[in-house]
Amino acid sequence: MKLEGKVALITGGGGAIGGAQARLFAREGAAVGVADLFEEKARAVAREIEEAGGCALALALDVQRSAGWAAAVAATERAFGPLAILCNNAGANVRVGFDEQTEEQWQLIVGTILTGSFLGIKAAVPSLRRAGGGVIVNLGSLASIRPGAGSPAYGAAKMGLVGLTRAAAATYAPDGIRCAIVSPGHVDTPFLREDTPYSPNDAATSLDNPENYRRRLRNTPLGRLQTPEDIARTVLFVVSDDAAMITGSMITVDGGAALG
């Protein structure tokens, strides 16, 4: 039980990577606030945790809204006590190039990933201080390492998270608050398969397209796409005391994809 007695707030908690974190953290003894834009997705994960004997609270949260953040942190603290862990997983992408990317898409992607993580850190830090310190994890990407000709907003937002992580790590180290960024490679999740409002996919971009699947596989030297659980296990390490001296760092979980 690596997280016995700890309280965690997880955004994108109704999604694949956030949901895997929520379930794993709960199994390791944490009480978990499961926050998502779609409340029913958060509720499904929270219910699963409770049915397995864990402690969870489902929260509706649009990470782009600071008022929503204040309410989510307050509700989690009321239910379980001050936060020791914040995981910023909520993400958005629209896979078009520079010429095609609209201002509206830019606002959605940068607003969800970068502004959302900034607002989350601001909202959570007073609670983390009340807990006597804690850990913030931001969800990066291969785009945090080598953004290219894909969606410029996604590249800018995920690169921006590297700077946000370092700024938070440097600022809050004296409070005993660590901050790190975990960057997955190609993870088989709805983000890359389904046609959602925050991450639209069509036949050209979806993993349902075998050619697209094979291309991502070819670009992964260890020979398989990552699972949400691969990412969750690394995030568990980062938030646990095993990583007590890790702050400001990026940890890549990509099967070697960034080597190419």
Chain residues binding ligand NAD by CB under 6 A are 11-12, 14-18, 36-38, 41, 61-64, 89-92, 112, 139, 141, 184, 186-187, 189-192, 198-199
Phi then psi for 161, rounded to 5 degrees? -65, -30
Whichever of 175 and 195 has its CB closer to ligand NAD, that residue is 195
Cα–Cα distances (Å) from 201 to 146, 167, 188, 205, in that order, read 22, 33, 13, 5
CB of 224 to ligand NAD, least distance (A): 13
Whichever of 121 and 187 has its CB closer to ligand NAD, that residue is 187
Whichever of 9 and 131 has its CB closer to ligand NAD, that residue is 9
Whichever of 101 and 112 has its CB closer to ligand NAD, that residue is 112
CA nearest 190: which of 244, 157, 232, 228?
A: 228
CB of 207 to ligand NAD, least distance (A): 9
How far is Cα 71 from Cα 129, in angstroms, rounded to an integer? 18
Strand order through the sheet with 134-139: 55-60, 31-36, 7-11, 85-88, 134-139, 177-184, 250-253
**Which tokens belong to 60?**
């509706």
CB of 174 to ligand NAD, least distance (A): 28
Number of residue whose CB is nearest ligand NAD: 15
CB of 71 to ligand NAD, least distance (A): 13
198 assigned to active site: no
Catalytic residues: 154
